C-alpha cells in the first residue's frame, strides 16, 4: 500500500539549539538489534558511517550546514527528536565538543576539524521543521531516501551532469567529454545519426573516455585547444560510416552467450571489450579498417568549419557545420580561468594542407608534467625530492594524483618560506598561508602597479573574495574528502597557477631572512 501524503500542517521552521535535539532511537540507519540510549545510537552511527560523518563534519566546518535542507523534528516524550538529520546531529555535537566521542582516535579527529572551523557557531542552531506527529514526516522522508520514484523523489546526478556542473562552475573543459558534443554538432544535418549519438551519450557517457582517448583521437588527428575547441584533420563526411558503426557498437548489448552462433561477429564496444588500451586500439582499429580502409579522408577544403553549441553562440542561434572539412567545437570556460592561467581565446585560422601535427607543436613538458622545470636549488631536501617526482608525473595520465601532489607541494613550499622569513599568516588555512607568502613576495600585489606581475594570476586564484578562489578549495577537498572527485583539468590549472609562485619561493629561500645581514669573512668575501 502506498504512503498517503500528510494532511496535517507542520508547526513551521525554527532554529533550535543542538543541545535541545535528540537522536532518533528508531532511525533505520541504526539497524538491528535496537539501541536503548543516545550514547549507543551515536556509537552505532559512528561504527557504521564513521568516515562519512567525518567528511560531513569537514564540510560543515568549512561551509556550514546545507541551507537547502532543514532538519525534520517531532516533539515526543517531552523532547525534540530528530527524524531527519541524525548524522548531521552527531557531526555537530562532536564539532561542538570532541570529548563526547566514544574513543580517543575519533575525539582527536574532530579536535583537528574543529580547529579549522570557518563558520563561527552557525552549526549549533540548525534550521528545523517541526511535525506534529512522526507519521506526518514519513512521506517527505521517503521522498528523500527512496530514490527518484516517478519524478517526485530526489534524482541523483549522473556523470554528465557532474561534468557540466564543473564546467559551469569554472573548471576547464575536458577533451573526451567535449567530443560527445562535437559529434552532435558536426552531424546535426543527419538526424538519424544524431539520435544514435544522443542515445549513446545518455547510456554510455563515460565509455567515450576510452574510445576517444585511446584510439579515435589518433585516427582523426584531433587536437584540443582552449577554451575547449576540438580540431580534426579529416573530412567529416568521409568518416561518417566509421562514426555510425562505432556508435552503433556502443549501443549494442553484450551477447548473453558469447559462444552462441554468430555472437563473435557482433560488434560490441563496451568496457569489457575495451578493457585495456591495447584491446581498445585493436578493436577500434578494426572498425576503422572495415569502414574506411585505405580511403583518403583528408579534408577536401582548406578552410575549416566550426560548430558552436547554442549556449556559446552569442546570438542564440545554432551554426550548422559543412558536410566536409575539418570541424571544431567550442565549450565555454570562465574568464577568470583564462586570466589566471594566462590562456587566451585562439583566433580561428584557415587550415593549410599537410600534416596537422606540424601545425600543432608538441606541448612542452612544463605544460604536460606537474611542476616540470620548477627551480628547486634552495628548497628543503624533502621538497626538492618531491618536486623531482612531480616533474615525472604526467598530468593527463594521473590527474587525481597530480591534483593531490599539486596541493601538497605548494603548501609545503609556503610553509618553508613562512618558517624561513618568520612570516605570520592570519590563519592556518592554505589560503591564509599563500596570502602571507604572496604579500611578502610583493607587498604591492593589490595595487595598480605590482612589482611581481608574474604572480598576479596566482593571487587572483588564491583570493577567496573573487570567483577564482575555488581552485584552492577544490584542491583542499581533493586531499581531505575521499568522496570528492577532482576535475580532470584541476592539476593542469594548478600547474599553471603555482609554477611561478614555486619559482619565486625557491629564489626567496636562497636569500637571508628579512632583518638578517650577511657577514663577511676575513678576506672581505660575503
Cα distance from N-terminal residue to C-terminal residue, the chain: 89
SS3 127: strand
Please give the Cα distance from 376 to 354 (Å, whole number): 41
Whether 64 contacts 121, CB under 8 Å: no
pLDDT at 340: 38
Please give the Cα distance from 27 to 41 (Å, whole number): 9
Share of the chain above pLDDT 90, in %: 48
Greater pLDDT, 241 or 316: 241
Share of the chain above pLDDT 70, in %: 80
| pLDDT tens-digit readout, 324-379 | 444 444 343 333 333 333 333 344 444 444 444 444 456 788 888 999 989 989 99
Please give the Cα distance from 459 to 367 (Å, whole number): 20
Burial class (CB in 10 A: 0-12, 13-18, 19+), 450: middle
* Cell numbers describing residue 233: 584533420
**pTM of the predicted structure, to 2 decimals:** 0.52
Please give the Cα distance from 74 to 293 (Å, whole number): 70
Whether 328 contacts 175, CB under 8 Å: no
Tracing cell 610553509 back to the chain, one arrives at: 415
pLDDT at 82: 97
pLDDT band at 115 (very low <50, low <70, confident <90, very high): confident
Whether 85 contacts 98, CB under 8 Å: no
* Cell numbers describing residue 240: 561518417
pLDDT band at 485 (very low <50, low <70, confident <90, very high): confident
| pLDDT tens-digit readout, 261-274 | 655 678 999 988 89
| pLDDT tens-digit readout, 206-230 | 999 999 999 999 999 999 976 678 9
Amino acid at each position: 500500500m502506498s504512503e498517503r501524503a500528510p494532511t496535517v500542517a507542520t508547526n513551521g521552521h525554527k532554529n533550535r539549539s543542538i543541545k535541545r535535539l535528540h537522536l532518533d532511537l528508531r532511525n533505520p540507519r541504526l539497524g538491528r538489534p535496537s539501541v536503548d540510549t543516545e550514547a549507543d545510537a551515536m556509537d552505532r552511527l559512528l561504527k557504521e558511517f564513521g568516515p562519512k560523518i567525518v567528511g560531513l563534519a569537514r564540510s560543515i566546518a568549512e561551509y556550514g550546514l546545507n541551507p537547502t535542507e532543514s532538519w525534520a523534528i517531532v516533539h515526543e516524550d517531552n523532547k525534540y527528536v530528530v527524524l531527519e538529520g541524525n548524522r548531521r546531529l552527531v557531526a555537530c555535537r562532536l564539532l561542538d565538543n570532541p570529548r563526547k566521542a566514544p574513543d580517543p582516535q575519533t575525539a582527536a579527529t574532530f579536535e583537528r576539524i574543529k580547529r579549522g572551523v570557518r563558520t563561527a557557531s552557525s552549526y549549533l542552531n540548525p534550521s528545523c521543521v517541526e511535525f506534529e506527529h512522526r507519521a506526518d514526516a514519513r512521506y517527505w522522508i521517503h521522498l528523500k531516501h527512496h530514490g527518484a520514484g516517478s519524478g517526485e523523489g530526489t534524482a541523483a546526478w549522473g556523470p554528465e551532469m557532474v561534468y557540466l556542473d564543473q564546467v559551469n562552475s569554472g573548471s576547464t573543459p575536458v577533451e573526451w567529454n567535449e567530443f560527445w558534443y562535437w559529434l552532435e554538432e558536426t552531424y546535426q544535418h543527419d538526424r538519424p545519426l544524431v539520435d544514435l549519438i544522443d542515445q549513446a551519450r545518455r547510456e554510455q557517457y563515460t565509455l567515450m573516455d576510452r574510445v576517444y582517448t585511446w584510439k579515435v583521437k589518433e585516427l582523426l588527428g584531433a587536437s584540443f585547444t582552449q577554451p575547449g575547441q576540438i580540431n580534426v584533420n579529416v573530412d567529416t563526411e568521409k568518416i561518417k560510416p566509421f562514426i555510425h558503426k562505432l556508435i552503433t557498437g556502443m549501443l549494442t548489448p553484450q551477447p548473453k552467450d558469447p559462444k552462441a552462433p554468430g555472437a563473435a561477429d557482433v560488434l560490441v564496444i563496451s568496457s569489457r571489450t575495451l578493457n585495456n588500451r591495447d584491446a581498445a586500439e585493436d578493436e577500434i582499429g578494426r572498425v576503422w579498417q572495415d569502414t574506411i580502409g585505405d580511403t583518403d579522408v583528408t579534408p577536401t577544403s582548406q578552410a575549416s568549419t566550426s560548430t558552436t553549441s547554442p549556449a556559446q553562440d552569442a546570438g542564440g542561434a545554432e551554426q550548422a557545420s559543412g558536410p566536409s572539412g575539418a570541424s571544431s567545437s567550442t565549450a565555454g570556460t570562465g574568464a577568470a580561468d583564462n586570466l589566471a592561467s594566462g590562456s587566451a581565446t585562439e583566433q580561428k585560422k584557415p587550415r593549410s594542407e599537410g600534416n596537422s601535427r606540424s601545425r600543432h607543436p608538441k606541448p612542452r613538458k612544463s605544460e604536460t608534467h606537474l611542476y616540470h622545470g620548477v627551480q628547486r636549488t634552495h628548497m628543503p631536501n624533502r621538497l626538492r625530492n618531491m618536486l623531482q617526482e612531480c616533474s615525472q608525473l604526467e598530468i593527463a595520465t594521473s590527474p587525481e594524483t597530480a591534483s593531490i601532489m599539486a596541493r601538497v607541494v605548494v603548501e609545503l613550499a609556503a610553509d618553508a618560506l613562512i618558517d624561513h622569513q618568520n612570516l605570520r599568516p592570519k590563519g592556518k588555512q592554505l589560503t591564509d598561508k599563500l596570502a602571507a607568502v604572496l604579500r611578502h613576495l610583493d607587498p604591492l600585489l593589490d595595487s595598480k602597479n605590482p612589482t611581481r606581475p608574474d604572480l598576479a594570476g596566482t593571487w587572483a586564484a588564491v583570493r577567496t573574495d573573487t570567483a577564482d578562489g575555488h581552485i584552492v578549495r577544490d584542491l583542499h577537498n581533493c586531499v581531505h574528502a575521499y568522496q570528492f572527485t577532482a576535475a580532470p583539468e584541476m592539476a593542469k590549472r594548478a600547474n599553471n597557477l603555482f609554477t611561478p609562485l614555486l619559482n619565486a619561493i625557491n629564489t626567496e629561500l636562497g636569500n637571508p631572512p628579512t632583518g638578517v645581514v650577511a657577514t663577511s669573512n676575513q678576506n672581505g668575501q660575503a
